[in-house]
Structure 1
Amino acid sequence: MTRMTNFFYQLPIRWKITLWSSLVLFILFVTYNSIQYYVMRSWMIDQEERNIQDKMNEVQAYLADKPFLVDRTEIIYSSGFLEKVNEANELIRIIDRDGNLVLAVATNLPQELLVTPVESDNLEHVKVSGKHYLIHRQPVITNGFIGYIEIIRDLKNYERLRKLIFLVTWSAGAGAILLSGVGGMLIARKLLKPIAALTDTMKRIKKRGFKERVPQDSNEKDEIADISNMFNEMMTDVETSFQKQKQFVEDASHELRTPISILEGHLSMLNRWGKNDPEVLEESLKASQQEVERLKMLVFELLELTRLESDRFEIGDDVISPVPVIEELLKKFTLLHPEFSFEFENRLKDDIKIQMADRHLEQLLIILLDNAVKYSMESRKVEMMAERKADKFIFHIMDYGIGIPKEDLEKIFNRFYRVDKARSREKGGQGLGLSIAKRIVHNYNGLIEADSKEGEWTLIHLQFDIEKHSE
């Protein structure tokens, strides 16, 4: 039993569907055909018994209704009537009280047919030499005779019809079960075709990579089509994530290679001869310290970006007024960069609030203001403006620096992307600041966009939802 169970569990699902559908149909057919066969057999037997009972009543009535003496001789003369009522495969005979035959009329049956005597008024079914007979025996009493009437019917027609019904019923059932098996296989193949396509796609993905997708028919809207759509969407996300991860590793390797190479070069130089030269020693140590600081900042920003992109990032539940945070930060930047002019125009008529942790808003503004300071040219002016549009808080930061080429505007929020890599490296940039800013804005369901004219100005646009209950 265990081996059969294990064998069944190891079958392909299409065979399981075929076997289960055939088994269910087999049980239904067995139940239905058994009931149908039993009902039809009972109905045919009932008809045969009813017929023979009616004939017995007719014969008894014929003999009992005669006004004259009905003796043995008169019964013998009634053979004409019995021949009229007698049917094929039937025997009607009258015997006296001692069991002696008085009259017998038969069609296709021998008059001397011996059967088990009927001891009661009930009908009896008997088997004689493998044949099925229905026997009915009733007493007959007239003014000149006492005896018995026996009607014996050979039920071979009933047996033939019963066997034919049995054969047809079960042949049709067997044929239906066979067809159900074939139909089950076709249905299983049809239903499992999308799953087979899904499996093939997974195998191709394993061999060729994440670009493979499940082929789909736009007309199909069933559950399996939904699974295929979801799988394709998940694979698109996986492919995108893989590409980002690959790009991240490549960019990080590239960014780390430069400071490590510089450190290696200075250490090698010091190891060879520079340690005996105070001037070279001081220069190398200073350059190495700068590169260590750059590595430290790069690792910090990578960790920060990873934290922002992971589920560990805790979105602040605080509802804050952004203007005080902006004004406080501007005071710090004014002290840090006294050569710059930071102009802030507050167009907000009311004190609005947004859902954001003040530390995250401050971190976001530091990144943007730091970029504005770094990439400014002769103009040392940074302009900011806060306003409200409908239920949105809008904030702009504009600098008059090197600007961004139009074709690079969509790329500046990518990791490690820098418009001018040489100048950015000179200014200490790692190319991660705007990626961190975008992730902070995204985590708070905000919007960040950039616009620029190369060589003239750059505008960063921020947008956040205003908390309605705070108004």
Structure 2
Amino acid sequence: MATLKSLFSRLPIRWKLAVWSSLLLCILFVLYNGVQYFTINQWMVSEGKVSIRKSMNELQTLLQEKHLSAQEIVNSRRFVENLNDRHQMIRILNQQGVPLLSVSNELPEDWFLPQAAHSTQIMTAWHLEDQVLIMRSPLTSDHFTGTIEIINNMENIEKISDKIKGVVIAGGIGAIILSALGGIFLSRQLMRPIQSMTDTMIRIRKKGLHEERVQVSDNNDELSNLGKVFNELIDQLERSFLQQKQFVEDASHELRTPISIIEGHISLLNRWGKHDPAILDESLRVSVQELERLKGIVNDLLELTRAESKNLEQDVPAIDISHTIQYTLTNFNMLHPDMVFRSELTLLEQVQVHITPQHLEQLLLIVLDNAVKYSGSSKEILVTGTLEQNEVFIHITDYGIGIPAEDLPYLFDRFYRVDKARSREQGGTGLGLAIAKQLVKRYNGNIRVSSNEHIGTTVTLCFPAYRV
């Protein structure tokens, strides 16, 4: 048993499904036919009892109505023979159980001994391999007291039962074959999408994710949905791998540049700049500048990692959003006194948002810093707040150089810059908007950018709002 169980456990799922489905169908068929065979067999036995009772009632009625004596009963053989059926024996016994009249139609008289009865009895008995039905009933009239005994061989019923049994067995064998074939077909149909996914995974392992997908049918069933989810997962993985690859390449490039500059100046100092004050000052100044940029890149990467690793913030107390925005604008204006910051926050009064003041200030600083860098000749930044359907919107608008339409979908990618040369001159790591996007997501918010080239850019922060 343990060996069979171990062997079955090593079978592929396809064959397990085929075996179990075939076994289940066979069990159901056997149970159904077994119940059907038993029911028909009992029905035929019941019909035999009805027939023998009918013969007994007819015989009793005729003999009692005629008030026959013992001798007259003996002389009524022809009448009893007419009532007798095939494979049946009728015996009329006296009070002592001695047969006075015995009529048999293809049934040996020595199979069963005569027996007197004081009450009506009906039973089944066996003689070797033959099943018989025996009925005994007392006979009482003015001139005679005895017993009528009818013995019926159920050979015809057994023949019909044997034929039904043969049909059931043949049907069972056919059911086993058909259920096995049906189980194999069913298992193949069910396992086809899974096998397709397995083959796709093998191809992905050999060739990579590119253009390797499961062929999904138009059927809206669970396996088709599983294939669709698998393809969506592979698409997401491919996008994640491409983004990760791009991130590594961009991070390597961004980190290599300041390191190469610092390395160059240190080599210059090591060769002949140690005793030249001008070269020494220049190299130290550039190295410090590049170290600051390198430090900024590392800090931004750490901040982005923290923003992506944490789940959505819960149980964060609500803050007065208009107050926090105005406080941030005032502080930021001190860093850029040449800029004009206008705010229209009247609609946000008495409105609160579940976000920490530090994170809201960080978001505003990221967006305001970009607005200042790319404001061009315009020195004006507009910050407005609106409330629509229990959502608060913070719009930060500059009137600078704008962003080309083809660059808008990539603004939140890591290290992405619209104009790399200009961005490098103005500073920044290209991680600000990526950090902002992750921070906004932590508070069930959204961030989007709309821009017209040479006209200006508007960045919108959206959060669920709560009125005081």
Return the TM-score normalized by structure 1: 0.83
Q: Give the aligned partner of residue 115 of structure 1.
A: 111
Of residues 134-143 and 178-187 in structure 1, the stretch that sits farther from structure 2 once superposed is 134-143
**Equivalent of residue 383 in structure 2, options 382, 385, 392:** 385
**Equivalent of residue 83 in structure 1, options 68, 74, 81:** 81
Q: What's the offset of the Cα at 1:248?
A: 0.5
Q: Give the aligned partner of residue 192 of structure 1.
A: 191
Quick check: 1:399–1:458 contact (8 Å CA) kept in 2? yes
Question: Which residue identity lines up with residue 273 of structure 2 in the other structure?
Answer: G
CA 1:447/1:360 → structure 2, altered by over 3 Å: closer, same or farther? same
Question: Which residue identity lines up with residue 336 of structure 2 in the other structure?
Answer: H
Q: Which whole-Å deviations, capped at 9, do the CAs of 1:25-56 have from their partners, x for residues lacking one?
A: 44444444333333332332333344334434
Q: What residue ranges of structure 2 are gaps of 5+ in the alignment?
A: none
SS in structure 1 of the partner of residue 79 of structure 2? helix
Identity across aligned pairs (percent)?
43
Give the Cα–Cα distance (whole angstroms) in 2 for the partners of residues 37 and 278 of structure 1: 113
CA 1:34/1:257 → structure 2, altered by over 3 Å: closer, same or farther? same
Question: Which residue identity lines up with residue 437 of structure 1 in the other structure?
Answer: A
Give the Cα–Cα distance (whole angstroms) in 1 for the partners of residues 87 and 47 of structure 2: 16
Q: Give the aligned partner of residue 395 of structure 1.
A: 395
Of residues 282-291 and 49-58 in structure 1, the stretch that sits farther from structure 2 once superposed is 49-58
Give the Cα–Cα distance (whole angstroms) in 1 for the partners of residues 53 and 125 of structure 2: 17
Q: Give the aligned partner of residue 204 of structure 1.
A: 203
CA 1:287/1:78 → structure 2, altered by over 3 Å: closer, same or farther? same
Q: Which whole-Å deviations, capped at 9, do the CAs of 1:240-286 have from their partners, x for residues lacking one?
A: 22211111011101111111212222222333333343433332222
Q: Give the aligned partner of residue 458 of structure 1.
A: 456
Give the Cα–Cα distance (whole angstroms) in 2 for the partners of residues 225 and 382 of structure 1: 55
Of residues 127-136 and 301-310 in structure 1, the stretch that sits farther from structure 2 once superposed is 127-136
Give the Cα–Cα distance (whole angstroms) in 1 for the partners of residues 442 and 453 of structure 2: 29
Q: What's the offset of the Cα at 1:103?
A: 4.8
Quick check: 1:352–1:466 contact (8 Å CA) kept in 2? no
After superposition, residues 18-417 of structure 1 pair within 5 angstroms as 18-66=18-66, 70-72=69-71, 74-93=72-91, 103-109=101-107, 113-121=109-117, 122-123=121-122, 125-128=124-127, 130-136=129-135, 150-211=149-210, 212-218=212-218, 220-311=219-310, 314=313, 317-338=316-337, 340-346=338-344, 348=346, 351-355=349-353, 356-377=355-376, 379=377, 381-388=379-386, 390-391=388-389, 392-400=392-400, 402-417=401-416
Of residues 93-102 and 387-396 in structure 1, the stretch that sits farther from structure 2 once superposed is 93-102
What CA RMSD, in Å, does the superposition of the two structures yield over aligned residues?
3.4
CA 1:269/1:314 → structure 2, altered by over 3 Å: closer, same or farther? farther
Q: Give the aligned partner of residue 10 of structure 1.
A: 10
Give the Cα–Cα distance (whole angstroms) in 2 for the partners of residues 75 and 393 of structure 1: 116
Question: Which residue identity lines up with residue 217 of structure 2 in the other structure?
Answer: D
Give the Cα–Cα distance (whole angstroms) in 2 for the partners of residues 346 and 146 of structure 1: 124
Q: What's the offset of the Cα at 1:185?
A: 2.8
SS in structure 2 of the partner of residue 265 of structure 1? helix
Q: What's the offset of the Cα at 1:304?
A: 1.2
Question: Which residue identity lines up with residue 112 of structure 2 in the other structure?
Answer: T
Quick check: 2:375–2:398 contact (8 Å CA) kept in 1? no
Quick check: 1:383–1:397 contact (8 Å CA) kept in 2? yes
Question: Which residue identity lines up with residue 420 of structure 1 in the other structure?
Answer: D
CA 1:414/1:388 → structure 2, altered by over 3 Å: closer, same or farther? same
Give the Cα–Cα distance (whole angstroms) in 2 for the partners of residues 123 and 204 of structure 1: 77
Q: What's the offset of the Cα at 1:366?
A: 2.3
CA 1:48/1:411 → structure 2, altered by over 3 Å: closer, same or farther? closer
Question: Which residue identity lines up with residue 113 of structure 2 in the other structure?
Answer: P
Give the Cα–Cα distance (whole angstroms) in 2 for the partners of residues 393 and 333 of structure 1: 20
CA 1:411/1:26 → structure 2, altered by over 3 Å: closer, same or farther? closer
Quick check: 1:89–1:108 contact (8 Å CA) kept in 2? yes
Q: Give the aligned partner of residue 419 of structure 1.
A: 418
SS in structure 2 of the partner of residue 429 of structure 1? coil
Give the Cα–Cα distance (whole angstroms) in 2 for the partners of residues 58 and 448 of structure 1: 102
Q: What's the offset of the Cα at 1:96?
A: 6.8
SS in structure 2 of the partner of residue 300 of structure 1? helix
SS in structure 2 of the partner of residue 410 of structure 1? helix
CA 1:99/1:374 → structure 2, altered by over 3 Å: closer, same or farther? closer
CA 1:347/1:329 → structure 2, altered by over 3 Å: closer, same or farther? closer
Give the Cα–Cα distance (whole angstroms) in 2 for the partners of residues 447 and 319 of structure 1: 19
Q: Which whole-Å deviations, capped at 9, do the CAs of 1:408-438 have from their partners, x for residues lacking one?
A: 3333332212233223223322222232233
